[in-house]
């Protein structure tokens, strides 16, 4: 992206963040089909405009609940689809529900392959994404670390309502009264789709613990084969350290907010025994025994 264009986007973002920081928690959210969304990022008009976005067979979509590793996955796929192919494509505003109607129009003319991301529920996505069997990479992260990451993010990102304490955030998270709704309902809804050939599930934890083998699976899923050198190159460009170091270019003043710790098990520093048990019970009631629940390796990552 030309430097001036990047600067304009950052300047617009700064203005928006300054405006958002003056608003009350109620003014920051709106309800769309029973789920809360950040008013400064999306609107009814953006959801309506999205309905006219026709998917293409070679589109690629990253699907995440917030804080599960969206930007990490976008960067990895961006490297695979564009950088390794010597295509100069900027990573800009990939999250489709954050696009205004004008940007949606712009996307319609973008060359293939297009890379998108979304936090939307499957039933709310434009139907053509399923009809065209767009490749979707679902990134899930254990619900305890996701909660802690989301707590910090909510308090540092002015477009989201903040919380006076971890306890208050935990309550809202468990009740699904946070932006993008309940982690558990979101995961259950996506679980209905995971047997489809165009859908692949990757976990944050597997990416952390065995990046190379996950990268090879992802590239295989996208129909690409990588040399050893390419694997090493993508790995070096997508480590937490390198993404954090570059974050003021990619995310402006919110760089350190998007790239906070990037670790597994930080939840142990926040959850009380009681909160941990409450979430265990919720998991048992909802995702335990589902295919997605199995993939999460809950006992390994969510036990004190
Ligand atoms: P933490 O808050 O636990 O640090 P999202 O992109 O969906 O908003 O997810 C953000 C979370 O992913 C943050 O978690 C962030 O630090 C982590 N993350 C981002 N890039 C990462 C990377 N390359 N490696 C490991 N974690 C990363």
Nearest atom within ligand 1 for CA of residue 243: 23
pLDDT per residue as tens digits for the range 125-169: 999 999 999 999 999 999 999 999 999 999 999 999 999 999 999
Distance 52 CA to ligand 1 centre (A): 31
Give yes or no for residue 266 CB within 6 A of ligand 1.
yes
pLDDT at site 14: 85
Query: Is the distance from CB of 301 to CB of 265 less than 8 angstroms?
Result: yes
Q: Which residues are CB-neighbours of 167 under 8 A, at least 6 positions away?
A: none
For strands 29-32 and 135-140, give the pairing: unpaired
Distance 67 CA to ligand 1 centre (A): 6
Q: Read off the tokens for 77.
A: 């796929």
Distance 154 CA to ligand 1 centre (A): 14
CATH of domain 24-301: 3.40.50.300
Show me where the domains of the chain are located.
Answer: 24-301
Average pLDDT on 44-57 reads: 93
Q: Read off the tokens for 26.
A: 């109620």
Question: Model-level pTM?
Answer: 0.96
Average pLDDT on 50-64 reads: 96
Instruction: Choose among 132, 133, 171, 137: nearest CA to 151.
Output: 171
Catalytic residues: 119
Q: Which residues are CB-neighbours of 121 under 8 A, at least 6 positions away?
A: 35, 181, 185, 186, 189, 190
pLDDT per residue as tens digits for the range 272-298: 999 999 999 999 999 999 999 999 999
263 pLDDT higher than 60: yes
Query: Is the distance from CB of 140 to CB of 292 less than 8 angstroms?
Result: yes
Average pLDDT on 45-56 reads: 93
Q: Read off the tokens for 200.
A: 């692949």
Confidence class for position 251, pLDDT limits 50, 70, 90: confident
1 pLDDT higher than 90: no
């Amino acid at each position: 992206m030309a430097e001036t264009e990047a600067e304009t986007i950052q300047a617009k973002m700064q203005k928006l963040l300054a405006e958002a920081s003056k608003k009350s928690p109620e003014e920051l959210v709106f309800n769309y089909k029973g789920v809360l969304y950040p008013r400064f990022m999306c609107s009814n008009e953006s959801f309506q405009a999205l309905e006219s976005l026709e998917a293409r067979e070679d589109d690629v979509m990253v699907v995440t609940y917030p804080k599960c590793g969206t930007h990490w996955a976008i960067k990895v796929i961006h490297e695979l689809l564009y950088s390794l192919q010597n295509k100069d494509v900027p990573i800009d505003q990939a999250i489709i529900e954050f696009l205004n109607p004008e940007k949606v129009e712009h996307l319609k003319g973008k060359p293939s392959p297009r890379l998108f991301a979304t936090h939307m529920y499957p039933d709310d996505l434009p139907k053509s994404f399923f009809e065209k069997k767009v490749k979707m990479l679902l990134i899930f992260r254990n619900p305890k670390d996701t909660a802690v990451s989301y707590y910090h993010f909510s308090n540092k990102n002015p477009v989201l309502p903040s919380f006076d304490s971890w306890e208050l955030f935990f309550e809202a998270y468990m009740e699904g009264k946070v932006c993008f709704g309940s982690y558990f309902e979101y995961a259950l809804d996506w679980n209905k789709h995971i047997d489809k050939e165009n859908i692949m599930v990757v976990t944050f934890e597997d990416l952390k613990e065995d990046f190379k083998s996950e990268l090879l699976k992802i590239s295989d899923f996208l129909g690409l084969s990588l040399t050893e050198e390419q694997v090493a190159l993508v790995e070096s460009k997508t480590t937490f350290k390198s993404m954090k170091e570059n974050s003021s270019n990619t995310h402006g003043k919110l760089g350190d907010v998007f790239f906070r710790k990037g670790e597994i098990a930080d939840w142990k520093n926040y959850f009380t025994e009681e909160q941990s048990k409450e979430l265990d019970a919720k998991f048992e009631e909802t995702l335990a025994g589902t295919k997605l629940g199995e993939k999460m390796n809950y006992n390994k990552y969510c036990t004190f």
